[in-house]
């Protein structure tokens, strides 16, 4: 853990407790999760109880305390996506990556999350990869997208 990086983030926000969420976002952006050591350093530098910082970090779904993959995959399990084939898309992602929702591949390349709704029902089933929305998904499209991300295929469009 780079103590200087954590100190730099805290200094960027002048150590203001009102900036805690921004500090956590910056830390997660660097490490792809909130490491305990970094949280301990923030709590110490900002003179706050570590349990209060953990309470904040676990309250917001945007934060995670477990290492995440280089590529984040989110699948919608809402009604519209479900009836249009969402379960088939999920099964294909799980088959290819050999992980369940909430897990990260052993090589640290992919993390998988399933949410109740992404709010884009008209293009369901939907898969979001690294913030990019892919609509009207099916197992074939999943295979192409994951292969491209894993570097097993030239950069063609999925």
Would you write out the chain's pLDDT as a tens digit for each of its 158 residues? 566 889 999 999 988 889 999 999 999 999 999 999 999 999 999 999 999 999 999 999 889 999 999 999 999 999 999 999 999 999 999 999 999 999 999 999 999 999 999 999 999 999 999 989 999 999 999 999 999 998 854 444 43
Could you tell me the CA-to-CA distances from 13 to 32, 43, 86 in Å, in that order?
A: 20, 14, 42
pTM: 0.75
Cα three-residue angle 68-135-112, rounded to 5 degrees: 20
Asked if residue 137 lies in contact with residue 150, where contact means CB atoms within 8 angstroms, the answer is: no
């Amino acid at each position: 853990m780079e103590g200087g990086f954590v100190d730099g983030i805290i200094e960027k926000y002048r150590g203001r407790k009102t900036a805690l969420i921004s500090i956590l976002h910056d830390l997660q952006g660097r490490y792809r999760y909130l490491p305990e050591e970094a949280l301990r350093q923030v709590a110490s530098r900002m003179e706050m109880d570590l349990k209060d910082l953990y309470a904040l970090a676990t309250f917001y779904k945007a934060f995670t305390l477990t290492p995440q993959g280089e590529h984040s995959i989110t699948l919608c399990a809402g009604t519209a996506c479900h009836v249009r084939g969402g379960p088939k898309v999920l099964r294909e992602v799980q088959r290819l990556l050999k992980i369940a929702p909430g897990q990260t591949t052993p090589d640290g390349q992919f993390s998988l999350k399933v949410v109740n709704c992404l709010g884009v029902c008209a293009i369901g089933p939907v898969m979001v990869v690294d913030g990019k929305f892919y609509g009207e998904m099916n197992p074939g499209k999943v295979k192409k997208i994951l292969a491209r991300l894993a570097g097993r295929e030239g950069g063609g469009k999925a």
